[in-house]
Structure 1
Amino acid sequence: MRVVKEYDERRNEIIQTAINLFIEKGYDACSVNDILKAVGIAKGTFYYYFKSKEDVLDAGVEQLSETVFTRVKEIAKDKQSSPVDRMIKIMMAIRLDDKSADILIEEMHKVNNALLHQKTLVSILNMLTPVFADIVEEGNKSGIFNCPYPEQCMQILLSSALTLLDDGIFNFDREKEKLIFQALFFTTEKILGVSNNEISSKLAAIYEVGGGEAL
């Protein structure tokens, strides 16, 4: 008997199955027919939900972004933590280190996915900027920060970080990458008007780039 599933359930099933196949076979080697066979659906059903294999990849990236955003919002609303600690926790939360994320990021870095890559970076920037800006404004009010342009300064800081630390744009060696991290920590404190090295010392410990030690 034919199984009828709700729209969102079927769509998510296709996305998750496709991502698993991209991981197993590689994106280029995976065809729409492979996805159809694995899900157990007809071609017409697939194209009812997605325009192409690339469209499924796009949807996977969108889901990944939503997952990160959910984490970020949960951290941002935790008023028991200081603004500094929340900013650091958010930076940790947006680090993507699981296998499916690696596959999606690798695909975005390919030349034929340049537009998707660009759109994803813009989406992440637009997602994170207001969250960081709200925390900065809170820190301004409590006297922890002294940043006159929270939203604009966070746009500048995040766009720099997202671009410089993106292996698909720049591919620094480990020593240069360490210096980039240190410079970003230094810049973060200057932008926020913090002078006690609280941010840079905590971030350096997390990212293992402090104290002159190699990564």
Structure 2
Amino acid sequence: MRVVKDPEVRKKEILTGAIQVFTKKGYDKTTINDIAKELGISQGLCYRYYASKEEIYDTALEDYSDFIVNSNLQRFKNDERTFKEKIRDFSGHMQEYQNPESDKELLYELFHGQNSKKMHDQLMMKTASKLVPHIKNELQIAKDNGEIQISDVDAFAYFFVYGQVGMLLNQTPSKECDVRIQDLLMELLQL
């Protein structure tokens, strides 16, 4: 008997099943047929909601990067702090992201697993692109308040975000790396 589900429920179910299969088999070795088998549904039903496994992966990447961005932005919520205090709270906390939220364990494993360097790097770049507008806003507020003096807020926002990403992609995240990032940002901003 055919089971009819709400389209959003079915779409999420397919995404979750695909993430499970990607994690077990690896993205490159996974097919739409594998995903359908995992869920006990037809390939056609998968294609009804997603045009390809690439689209499913892109959705997972978007969802997880949104989660990471929102987690990071929580550090900026207290407007009572100075920009220097916000920078200290924002930068240098990579160790905290090694303990994923319980409902994000599969995504964490997919993007941070042993054989996931390419996916991890894509996640870092996607997350960075989503953080830039928020950092730009914080920099502009700090500049307007006289806390920092930079000539090009837009360029510095990109440097602020992508500079940290570059350091993190070339090193194993550690407390020493976190402290080095904080120190460099403070030096660059003359805080």
TM-score range normalised by the length of the shorter chain:
0.7 to 0.9
Identity, % of aligned positions: 21
Residues 86 and 181 of structure 1: CA distance in aligned 2, closer, same or farther (over 3 Å)? closer
Following superposition, the deviation at residue 180 of structure 1 comes to 5.6
Following superposition, the deviation at residue 63 of structure 1 comes to 0.5
Residues 75 and 32 of structure 1: CA distance in aligned 2, closer, same or farther (over 3 Å)? same
Unaligned runs of 5+ in 1: 195-215
CA distance in 1, matches of 2:72, 2:95: 8
Following superposition, the deviation at residue 93 of structure 1 comes to 7.8
CA distance in 1, matches of 2:165, 2:70: 19
Q: What's 1:51 paired with?
A: 51
Residues 71 and 182 of structure 1: CA distance in aligned 2, closer, same or farther (over 3 Å)? closer
Counterpart AA for 1:33: N
Contact persistence 1:75–1:90 (CA under 8 A): yes
Q: What's 2:181 paired with?
A: 184
Counterpart AA for 1:109: K
Following superposition, the deviation at residue 165 of structure 1 comes to 1.3
- TM-score, L = length of structure 2: 0.74
Contact persistence 2:87–2:182 (CA under 8 A): no
CA distance in 2, matches of 1:70, 1:101: 15
Q: What's 2:89 paired with?
A: 89
Q: What's 2:137 paired with?
A: 134
Q: What's 1:109 paired with?
A: 117
Following superposition, the deviation at residue 94 of structure 1 comes to 9.9
Contact persistence 2:132–2:158 (CA under 8 A): yes
Residues 14 and 86 of structure 1: CA distance in aligned 2, closer, same or farther (over 3 Å)? farther
- Aligned residues between the structures: 183
- 1:11-30 matches, within 5 Å, as 11-30=11-30
Q: What's 1:162 paired with?
A: 165
Contact persistence 2:23–2:109 (CA under 8 A): no
CA deviation digits over 1:167-194, x for unaligned, max 9? Answer: xxx3x478xx777655533331132221
Unaligned runs of 5+ in 2: none
RMSD of the TM alignment (CA)? Answer: 3.2
Counterpart AA for 2:108: A
Question: Alignment partner of 2:158: what SS?
Answer: helix
CA distance in 1, matches of 2:188, 2:141: 15
Following superposition, the deviation at residue 43 of structure 1 comes to 0.7
- TM-score, L = length of structure 1: 0.67
Could you tell me which of 144, 152, 156 is aligned with 1:153?
A: 156
Counterpart AA for 2:8: D
CA distance in 1, matches of 2:87, 2:172: 27
